[in-house]
Amino acid sequence: MPFDADAGAARASEPLYAWWFSVLPRLFGVPVDAGRAGAGVDRDAASSAGDGTTAAGHDGAATHPFPVDLAQQALALAQGMIETLVGASLQALAERRPGDEAQALQGLVQARVAALADPVAALGRMLAGSNVAALGSALNGAPLAALGEALAPWSLNLERAYGGLADAFGLAPLRQLEQAVREASLAMLAHRQAQLEYLEVVAGAAGQGAQALGARLAEMGRSGESVDSLLALVRLWARVTDEAMHRAMQAPRALEASAKLVRAATRARAGQQRVVAIVSAALDVPTRTELDDAYREIQELKRQLRRLRKGPLAGDAAAAGPPPAQAVTSAAAADARPAASRDTAVAGPQRSAPPVPRAPQAARPAKAPARRRRVKEGGEP
C-alpha cells in the first residue's frame, strides 16, 4: 500500500510526532538543532525533519518515503542524547566519584522532567503571587477557584448596571461574547492548573523510577553483577523506570489527576467553542452545532434507508437465505460469476450447529505446534 494513499492520516499524526520529538530533546538536554541534523546523521536526509514535516510529499519538503525522515530525526536526537550522557559521565569520572555515572543519569533525567513542568509551574507561581487583593492567601491552595470567586462580583455588577442598556442597543451578542470569553479564559487557566498537577504526578513517578534504579543497582552490586556500558545503563534505567511509572500512573492519585486533566481540557475546549459559536452566529456563519445537526440528520436518514432496505428486525429473522445480489458492487459483480457457480460448488453443505456438545479438543496447527501454544476448553490455563 503506497503510504500517500492515506496522506491525510500521516498528517493527522504529525502533531503527535512533533510533540514527542520536542519532548525528547528537552528530556535529555539535547540542543534543539540536533532535531534537525546530528553529528553523525546524513544532513541531507534529515534536512526536512526538524520543522515538524513528517509526511512524504507534504509541502514538497520530504524527500524520502515515510517515515525515513522521522527516523533520521530520531537518530539525530539519539546522537545528541548519547553525547550528553557521555559528557555527564566523564564529568562524574573526572571528579573521582566512581559509581556516580548512574547518579548523573538519574539527575539528568529528573532535572529535565522538572524542567518540562516549569512553564506550567511558572504560571501557577504567577497566579499565587498576584497582588489582586480579592485573591488573597487562598490562591496558594486553590488559585483558580479563588480567581473565579474574585471576578464573579465584577461580572454580576456589570450585568446589573449595564446589561439591559446594552441589550437595548442591540449589543447582546457582544455581552454574550464577553461572558463567554471570560468563562473560556477561566477554563483555560483551570486547564493549565490541571496540567501542572498532572505533570507533578508524572515527575513523581519518574522520581520513583530513579529510586528503583538505585535499588536495582544496589541489588546488582550485592550479587556481583556489573554494568560496563553507558547504553546498557540507559536500557536498565528505562526498564526499571517503566515498571515504576506503570505502578505510579495506575495509582488512584495519578488516575484522579488524569481524570481532572481530561475534565479541565474538555471544559476549556467547550468554552473556546462557545466563543467561536457566538462570533459565527453574529456573522451569519454556520456554527459547529448547526453543521453537526445537519450531519446527524443525514445519518438518521441513512439509518431509515437501511431499515427500509433490510427490514427493521433483520437480525431476528428465523431463517435467512443468501441476500439479494444487488448489494454487490459492479466490481464484485464482474467477479461474481465464476463464483456463483464455482464458490457455491466448493462451499459444500453447512452444518447449522454442533449436534451434540463437543468434547474438549485442542486446535491442531497444521504445522509443528510452537512450544508455548496452549488451547484450553473451559478457559483455565
Partner 1 sequence: MTVSRSRPAAASRAASPVRLTADGLLRELREASEKIARGSRRLAALTEDQLAIATAPKDEVWRQDMVRLYRYRPVGAAPTGVPVLLAYALVGRYPMIDLEPERSFVRKLLAEGLDVYMVDWGHPTRAHRWLTIDDYVSGYLDDCVDTVRARHGVDRVDLLGICQGGVFTTCYAALFPHKVRNLVLTVTPIDFHGDRDRPETGAGYMNLWARAVTPEDIDRLVDTVGVAPGALVGFAFLMMNPVSNVTKYTTELVDILDDEAKLLNFLRMERWIADRPGHPGEVMRQWFKDLYQANKLVRGELVLGERRVDLGRITMPVLNVYAEGDVIIPNACSRGLQGVFGTTDYSELAVPGGHIGTFVGGKAQKVLAPSIACWLRERS
Enumerate residues 174-233 that contact partner 1 by CB under 8 A. 202, 209, 217-218, 220-233
- For 175, the 3-state DSSP assignment is helix
Q: Scan for cell 515515510, then name that residue.
A: 66
Q: Does 317 bind partner 1 (CB under 8 A)?
A: yes
Stretch of 141-149, 173-181, 185-193, 346-354 lying at the interface with partner 1 (CB under 8 A): 346-354
Does the footprint of partner 1 cover residue 295 (CB under 8 A)?
Answer: yes
Stretch that binds partner 1, among 127-135, 142-150, 152-160, 259-267 (CB under 8 A): 259-267
Minimum CB separation of residue 328 from partner 1 in Å reads 6
| Under rule CB under 8 A, residue 34 binds partner 1 | no
Q: Which residue has the cell 506550567?
A: 120
Shortest distance, position 138 Cβ to partner 1, whole Å: 26
The only residue of 110, 179, 273, 280 in contact with partner 1, by rule CB under 8 A = 273
The residue within the footprint of partner 1, chosen from 27, 62, 108, 248 (CB under 8 A), is: 27
Member of 190, 196, 212, 236 binding partner 1 (CB under 8 A):
236
With cell 461580572, the residue in question is 155
DSSP, collapsed to helix, strand or coil, labels residue 274 as helix
Write the DSSP assignment of 107-162 as a string of letters.
Answer: HHHHHHHHHHHHHHHHHHHHHHT---TTTTTHHHH-HHHHHHHHHHHHHHHHHHHH
- What is the C-alpha separation between 56 and 267, in angstroms, rounded? 36
What is the residue type of 297? E
**Please, which residue, 174 or 314, has the CB nearer to partner 1?**
314
- Cα distance between residue 16 and residue 336, in whole Å: 43
Q: Which residues between 89 and 118 bind partner 1 (CB under 8 A)?
A: 89-90, 93-94, 98-99, 101-102
Contacts of 377 (CB under 8 A, 6+ apart): 360, 361, 362
Q: How far is the CB of 179 from partner 1 (least distance, A)?
A: 19
Q: Least Å distance between CB 219 and partner 1?
A: 9
Q: How many residues sit in the footprint of partner 1 (CB under 8 A)?
A: 159
Q: How far is CA 131 from the centre of its chain?
A: 37
Binding letters toward partner 1, positions 43-82, x by CB under 8 A? -xxx-------x-x-------xxxxx-xxx-xx-xxx-xx
Contacts of 93 (CB under 8 A, 6+ apart): 101
With CB under 8 A as the contact rule, the residue among 118, 152, 292, 304 that binds partner 1 is 292
